Structure 1
């Protein structure tokens, strides 16, 4: 079999597929589907491919149609599994501790980028976030993360002469919101490489600019630095089961919330991203408890933003995850086409997002925090929030007013 993923399978799975192919003479596309199934089942620790193949299902047909009938029955079995909430009760995996990293200071012609929303057609409601990749690579081991697909996993690459580069950087007039967590965790490294000092100079040069530091860590030593108010700390939150099973080496939910409390108590602006939400067995209970803990620990006026989003994969990331073969059940889901990528069906997303938003008290739905869906279909906004934006420009303008208004309010109190 010529498919590149075939070589990543264990020898016994390769042997079984070759025997099966000899009997049924699959097409290349049929081989690809079977190989991908074998990769997924190995990741899920759900048994060998042979356990998910029933050769009696094609006894009623003959000739070339036998291969199609066999594959159709197998794919139906897989789809039934994918359509159910992912089960984690019987899933245990050793933590994937990363290899020892070496740090490199590198020159780069490009500092600025943009968020990965589709560029054309407004297939998702996009806020036009700009990104600033001051560090590349992350030491966390989230099973769904695309960062590890882009960069050498053994190197932390830091922009050389970052402070000077940012002093020389002239931002386009329309730039008002920059994220620094696209190619690494924004606070995992703290100020170890001087990145926060360098970013603070940029923040002071552009006092209306929002620089977002997005993290899954519980690092708090950066709070001793004299950072300007427009450098905002935000935490990606998730259900404890997903943190334990899929977000390896990251801080626990409680550690993240405690770190957010420390930032709040120091007068910092904070926000949260419940992203990516996972449709798993127990999701309602755990996400419900998460929102209860957030609203008990923080007042609405203390939180600038709260976003919701879920799993989204490109073909390239799916190939890389299957080739790596790390134990994970994150792909035990319906991979539905979504704006050139793959995600849950819209019905599943609406159910999850509506449930979470309904858990917030009414006091949290009065303008602060600013709620939004991240990289999601525009049709979901109205059933989830009860409001929507007609286009990306209107959405971005509303976010800008909310963020900069929050910033001005905080400054007026000092």
Structure 2
């Protein structure tokens, strides 16, 4: 019965034996066994007590058969839910994933479609979406963040560069409403510097499309590109930042917070507009102090004139990504969270998100929240979060996009 489930191969031997015993003794439904398999895998990845140690036959009381099994299953799920609802503890988590060697660099002529859209829900306005377009000029990333799905999407250990990128970009037909294009969806935008002429091609594209903002998004500390490439004003560089604990425990191979900020400082010193993404914010023990530290580090090193935007967002998973993370068998506590369905995906409960975002926003000084400061926004989050976090909201995505667009261009023109 166990082997019928897609994730069964990711179970430890001891979990498989125990769950097989439960299956033969109580004959659970397919759905009950699916849940137990998923929870067993999660506990293993978190390096928490195995499900056998949490299972309590006494929880069934005097019940028998399916009623007894249902009571015992509720008891073990209550224990796991309690663990999920607590801020994740990292002080006793030291396991590192078994990472592959640095992926091989492969340059390949490809006809793969370059232009896409951000992964917000495609129908309706379940989340506030800025209508970001994406340019997938590189596929695959050399970083190994535990929550990221890129590694599962592209070519495993190969980095694929678009070999004829200048020509492809010259022939690219942009939608009439295009104004904001990001390059960090399928790989890190600045990890590769100007290798294979990537940034030179993007800079030329930006010069040829002066009404479009091209955003480079990174977790790297590489800065040699600053002296190698002539950035036009409509080309901005942004850094994804996180709490030091999360960088150390979950954002494997990426640059430290300090080195990311140093790289951003060099870009700003060169006259390039910069931005910061507090994304994904994680609900862990000590999160308040560490995210306050991140905000203070930003505001102490950069002026409001240098920063075009600050976004906030948190962990969001599709069912497919959850399955991939569980299949990976890589130790991580990133899924030790209360997975609540939100806009067709799984994330923290709304109350937890509001608490984290509000705290981070309050940490910014008052002058950062004026018209001259950066544009603050929530990335792929529910519309009802905006008012309690920022004290402002938008009636629809169009209004949000227009405000964002106007703010970006005011910053670019001033620069």
Task: Give the TM-score category using the shorter length.
Answer: over 0.9
* Number of aligned residues: 410
Structure 2 residue matching 1:158: 3-state secondary structure = strand
Corresponding residue for 1:389? 394
Deviation at 1:96, TM superposition (A): 4.2
Moved beyond 6 Å, runs of 4+: none
> Is 1:248 paired with 2:236?
no
Structure 2 residue matching 1:208: 3-state secondary structure = coil
Structure 2 residue matching 1:305: 3-state secondary structure = strand
| Bigger Cα displacement from structure 2, 32-41 vs 6-15 | 6-15
Corresponding residue for 1:131? 134
Superposition CA RMSD, Å = 1.0
TM-score for the superposition, normalised by structure 2? 0.97
**CA distance in 2 between partners of 1:324 and 1:97 (Å):** 11
1:323-361, Cα deviation, whole Å (9 max, x unpaired): 111100000000000000000000000000011101111
| Bigger Cα displacement from structure 2, 103-112 vs 118-127 | 103-112
**CA distance in 2 between partners of 1:149 and 1:205 (Å):** 34
Deviation at 1:100, TM superposition (A): 3.9
Corresponding residue for 1:6? 8
Corresponding residue for 2:148? 145
Conserved in 2, the CA contact under 8 Å of 1:335 and 1:344?
yes
Conserved in 2, the CA contact under 8 Å of 1:138 and 1:185?
yes
Conserved in 2, the CA contact under 8 Å of 1:97 and 1:249?
no
Conserved in 1, the CA contact under 8 Å of 2:231 and 2:272?
no
**CA distance in 1 between partners of 2:327 and 2:356 (Å):** 30
Deviation at 1:59, TM superposition (A): 2.7
**CA distance in 1 between partners of 2:309 and 2:186 (Å):** 21
Deviation at 1:95, TM superposition (A): 5.3
1:219-268, Cα deviation, whole Å (9 max, x unpaired): 00010121222111000000000000000010000001111100000111
Conserved in 2, the CA contact under 8 Å of 1:187 and 1:214?
yes
Q: 1:237 to 1:317 in 2, by over 3 A?
A: same
Structure 1 residue matching 2:196: 3-state secondary structure = coil
**CA distance in 1 between partners of 2:363 and 2:276 (Å):** 15
Corresponding residue for 1:29? 31
Deviation at 1:295, TM superposition (A): 0.8
**CA distance in 1 between partners of 2:410 and 2:62 (Å):** 68
Q: Which runs of 5+ in 1 are unaligned?
A: none
TM-score for the superposition, normalised by structure 1? 0.97
Corresponding residue for 1:369? 374
Conserved in 2, the CA contact under 8 Å of 1:96 and 1:248?
no
1:22-72, Cα deviation, whole Å (9 max, x unpaired): 111111000000000111011000022111211110132112212211211
Deviation at 1:400, TM superposition (A): 0.5
Deviation at 1:94, TM superposition (A): 2.4
Conserved in 1, the CA contact under 8 Å of 2:102 and 2:142?
no
| Bigger Cα displacement from structure 2, 97-106 vs 80-89 | 97-106
